[in-house]
Amino acid sequence: MAKDVEVQRRLAISRVPINKQDPELRKKNWDEVFLGFDLDAAKTEAMRCIQCPTAPCQQACPVHNDIPGAFKLLEDGDVFAAAEKFRETSNLPELCGRLCPQERLCEGECVVAFAIRPDSHQEPPVTIGKLEAFVTDYQRRNGGMPIVVVPEPSGFNVAIVGAGPAGLAVAEELAKQGHACTMYDAWPEPGGVLLYGIPNFKLSKDVLQDKLKYLDRLNVKFVGNTWIGKDVTIDDLFAQGFHAVFVGTGASLGGKLSVPGENLTGIFAATEFLVRGNLRPDQLPEHMRDGLQVGEDVVVIGGGDTSMDCVRTAVRLGAKRVTCVYRRTESEMLGRTEERNHAREEGVDFQFLTIPLHFIGNDDGHVTGVECQQMELGEPDESGRRRPIPIPHSEFIIPADSVAIAIGYNADPIIKDAAPGVQTNRWNLVEVDKSTFMTSRPGVFAGGDNVNGADLVVTALADGRRAATAIHEYLDSLPPPNLRR
Ligand SMILES: Cc1cc2nc3c(=O)[nH]c(=O)nc-3n(C[C@H](O)[C@H](O)[C@H](O)COP(=O)(O)OP(=O)(O)OC[C@H]3O[C@@H](n4cnc5c(N)ncnc54)[C@H](O)[C@@H]3O)c2cc1C
């Protein structure tokens, strides 16, 4: 720990503000909301870190980034080394810096926020996530990335099913060991939810594209438009000569409301709404390539981060009135406050304590409104949150030209057909030995949202890294392959 006087000097530095796009401007574009730091501002913010030896921020990070170590390097002006410090433990630091809910991970534990200053003045935690994004972006944009060295081939072939954060981390870690990796995905391009879900205003896609180019230089192959379970099975993959398979298929099945009228046109599952709103037609399967005409009134059902992504996408698609319908109050909402604030700043309306009863359609079968009912909160349910109870005779209609349903994601039961012998539980999540990430079928590993349920980019990434270590050890235990590629 720096000496007391040094700690006080650091605590006296106020948090450096981060510039954002003005809401009126950003409603009309798809660029990221945060404009980021410049170098001097980043160094000043890094100086707010008091370099505490226990580093609770590092403990709270699912991949245990050495945050104080990186910030010391940044403060000393060695930005590339700071970026490399994050890359030692994370495959996607520029993405995690943008997407992690830092307030409940690293920043939630930052000692600076709990420090008592002489003038009793309270300061927020160090802006860890945005500094992580800054140093790693700076490194990429200023020629600081190390030269890619392709290792000697090991002769082992690994199939990776699902090219989301878990699969990308497995591919990178195994390719660095010389194993030949092929990623398969049902979508046309790799990235998983990073591409097919998270909107551009939260994550500029050039960040992901740089990572994919890096994997390409490591000779990682990608095969798109391929459903494991429909087009190919895991048995087929072994028959084709793969020595191990990693299943990182996520939890991509959008929850359904099961209320009358859900099949009307103009009602979308959140993912379809987001990808059609955010991606170029050539990045989508043929049946999703028509432009999304959302009309003037858009209703989004659900109160998590996906719902905020949908309402803000609707704003950018030109909707005049966008309403988020949520069955509890704001205090019970699970998503990030920052995202809700962004939505509010962009003019989104929140209709709390409300459930949809049924959808109303016109003669053409297109949605025109949502009949809703007002709720009140009762006793806590099994999640610990107060249960919403309907208020009799409180029905009302919200006009809607389009609706997005964003009430959560589940794992796809297709995994049972894709991978005979792989044990799943009643939520269709894959069961793994948490120390080896091996499933009940030897040579088949799994990790990310298809094991944990819908979670975070960083937890999928952490799983992928640990699974890659286990797969490498497993391959090491096999007889050496005859054919080296
Ligand atoms: C709209 C949205 C916004 C989100 N925002 C955030 C955020 O801001 N911050 C955050 O930390 N997390 C966020 N998340 C959660 C995060 O994206 C996921 O936790 C993370 O992507 C999980 O990674 P994964 O690799 O396990 O799965 P995924 O990213 O879901 O990737 C799985 C891949 O497997 C493919 N696949 C599935 N089944 C098959 C099959 N049978 N055959 C072939 N391929 C298959 C899918 O097409 C997909 O590409 C968000 C999620 C959504 C949906």
Sign (positive/negative) of CA torsion 434, 461, 62, 70? positive
Into how many domains does the chain fold?
3
Same domain, 247 and 261: no
Ligand 1 geometric centre to CA of 98 (Å): 16
Same domain, 40 and 108: yes
Same domain, 108 and 241: no
Contact of 32 with 98, CB cutoff 8 Å: yes
Ligand 1 geometric centre to CA of 189 (Å): 13
Burial environment of residue 364 by CB neighbours within 10 A (0 to 12, 13 to 18, 19 or more): exposed
Same domain, 399 and 415: no
Is 147 inside a domain boundary?
no
Ligand 1 geometric centre to CA of 32 (Å): 20
Ligand 1 geometric centre to CA of 167 (Å): 10
Ligand 1 geometric centre to CA of 166 (Å): 9
Same domain, 60 and 99: yes
Give the pTM.
0.95
Is 482 inside a domain boundary?
no
Contact of 248 with 168, CB cutoff 8 Å: no
Closest ligand 1 atom to 202 CA = 8
Is 146 inside a domain boundary?
no
Ligand 1 geometric centre to CA of 276 (Å): 16
The residue range of the domain holding 459 is 157-252+410-477
Closest ligand 1 atom to 274 CA = 1
Same domain, 272 and 371: yes
For 65-123, write each residue's pLDDT tens digit. Answer: 999 999 999 999 999 999 999 999 999 999 999 999 999 999 999 999 988 776 777 88
Is 240 inside a domain boundary?
yes
- Among 114, 141, 168, the domain-final residue is 141
Ligand 1: residues with CB < 6 A are 99-100, 161-167, 184-187, 192-193, 197-198, 202, 227-229, 248-250, 252, 274, 305-306, 309, 409, 412, 414, 418, 448-449, 455-458, 460
Predicted local distance difference test score (pLDDT) of residue 303: 93
Task: Pick the residue whose CA is nearest to atom 20 on ligand 1.
Answer: 457
Measure the CA–CA gap between 56 and 115, rounded to whole angstroms. 14
Q: With cut-offs at 50, 70 and 90, classify the pLDDT of residue 481.
A: confident
Amino acid identity, position 32: E
For 41-66, write each residue's pLDDT tens digit. Answer: 999 999 999 999 899 999 999 999 99
For 296-317, write each residue's pLDDT tens digit. Answer: 999 999 999 999 999 999 999 9
Token readout for 378 is 């009762």
At residue 133's C-alpha, the angle toward residues 313 and 36, to 5°, is: 70
pLDDT at 401 > cutoff 50: yes
Same domain, 432 and 296: no
The mean predicted confidence, pLDDT, of the chain is 94
CATH value at residue 395: 3.50.50.60
Task: Give me the long-range contacts of 235-239 (CB less than 8 A, separation at least 24).
Answer: 235/420, 237/159, 237/161, 238/443
Is 33 inside a domain boundary?
yes
Same domain, 393 and 421: no
Is 483 inside a domain boundary?
no
Q: With cut-offs at 50, 70 and 90, classify the pLDDT of residue 485.
A: very low
Side-chain half-sphere CA neighbours of 389 within 13 A:
8
Closest ligand 1 atom to 454 CA = 19
Same domain, 359 and 309: yes
Same domain, 236 and 308: no
Q: With cut-offs at 50, 70 and 90, classify the pLDDT of residue 219.
A: very high
